[in-house]
Structure 1
Amino acid sequence: MPTGGGTAEQPTADGQHDREEPHSVSEEELFDVLANTRRRNALHAIAQAEGTTHELGTLSERVAAWENEIDVTEVSYDERKRVYTALQQSHLPKLDEVGLVSFDKDRGTVDATPALGEVEIYLDVVRGKEIPWSEYYLGLSGVSMALLAAVWVGAYPFTLVPDLGWFAFVVVAFTVSATVNRYFSTEMKLGDDRSPPNIE
């Protein structure tokens, strides 16, 4: 029977069953899930065809092809088997547990849950080698406040540049950062029609 990580049914007073609201995936759970490349690739494939029941074998071939940077038709038995075993025993149960997919281990099928459709999943929430955008903006804000405070009190050598110049610098820094952020938010989104983005 399906593990049913996304939704569950509860009996009502008249004996019928109503579905609970979709499980809300926390930011901490997303960090944990997306920290693994193979799970990200599996989610990318599932999100690309949301509403479709995915066969574990087919999903494994697709993920193996991405990992080895080859066409699906070129995936060997061993490459497929390694991914199949890892997805079946570890990664899909984990995704089911947090409520992003519904994994039926007996049938070897995977379905996206309503929670997956409601979550905009970007790699900028992954704590990997890259600095998360939230932390980047926090750091940029801190540097900007310190800079403007130094200009305000007339600290040397900040007095060598007109006050307006420093204010313009801060505005340009945030504008450029926001532009780059938006670009990467588009490029790094899981579930679009391209190969899965990566941060390694």
Structure 2
Amino acid sequence: MTTVSRSRRTDGQHSPREPDADGDRSVLDPDDIYHILQTRRRRDVLRYLHTADEPVRLRDLAEQIAAWEHEVTVENLTSSQRQRVYISLYQSHLPKLDNRGIVSYDKDRGTIESTPLASQFDPYLVGIESPTESDPWPHRYAGAVGCCGLFLTAIAGGIVSIPWTVAAVLVVLLFAAVTTVHAYSERMLSRP
């Protein structure tokens, strides 16, 4: 495989060189990947396109990203929230992704679709959820804390009669179990 070589332009910015003689631009430079991912809106564009089966409309993309940013549904967005994201995508982020060959952006039609280069971002986006998706683990840990609190209150109130050392071991075992399951599930999610 070849890499996309970078050349320094006179304005100090990196620009992709022309494809190799065989036309291959199949691998992005790690610096390009990190540069693209440093902006949340570009990460959101890649995340949205990852789930799309066909070209998406700029309006739909902008609305969903605005909804994620403001933690509301698309229906509850204000026109100014939509417009700020739309303009930012239209003028900056989508042209940058298009110039790098990561997306195919048709300004005239207002459509965007990912290219094969976009798949190189998947390992970096795995585990990064959109703001509207919730991570269940904080709730599971909070549930464990609540159960332990009720259990210890029952012991202190004389409702449950077991030694404090046994109660302490049970609490530690519960948290060890929750943490082990959490670590295992994260490991399974990060596997290719």
TM value normalised by structure 1: 0.51
Which of 62, 74, 78 lines up with 2:64 in the alignment?
Answer: 62
What is the aligned length?
A: 122
The answer to whether the 8 A contact 2:33-2:121 is kept is no
Residue of structure 1 equivalent to 2:170: none
Is 2:45 the counterpart of 1:42?
yes
Q: What are structure 2's unaligned runs of at least 5 residues? A: 1-17, 127-178
The answer to whether the 8 A contact 2:62-2:86 is kept is yes
The answer to whether the 8 A contact 1:64-1:83 is kept is yes
Sort the Cα spacing of 1:81 and 1:67 in 2 relative to 1 into closer, same or farther, 3 A: same
- Map of 1:147-186 to 2, 5 A cutoff? 183=186, 186=189
The answer to whether the 8 A contact 1:23-1:99 is kept is no
- Map of 1:50-129 to 2, 5 A cutoff? 51-123=53-125
Over residues 77-109 of structure 1, what are the superposed CA-to-partner deviations in whole Å (9 max), with x where a residue is unaligned?
Answer: 111110000000000111112221111112111
Over residues 102-136 of structure 1, what are the superposed CA-to-partner deviations in whole Å (9 max), with x where a residue is unaligned?
Answer: 11112111011011135433159xxxxxxxxxxxx
Identity across aligned pairs (percent)?
Answer: 35
The answer to whether the 8 A contact 1:53-1:109 is kept is yes
Q: CA RMSD in A?
A: 3.5
Report deviation, 1:21: 3.7
Structure with larger Rg: 2
The DSSP-based 3-state class of the residue aligned with 2:122 is coil
Q: What are structure 1's unaligned runs of at least 5 residues? A: 1-7, 10-18, 125-175, 190-200
Report deviation, 1:62: 0.3
Comparing 54-63 with 22-31, greater Cα deviation is found at 22-31
Report deviation, 1:180: 5.2
Structure 1 segments (4+ residues) deviating >6 Å: none
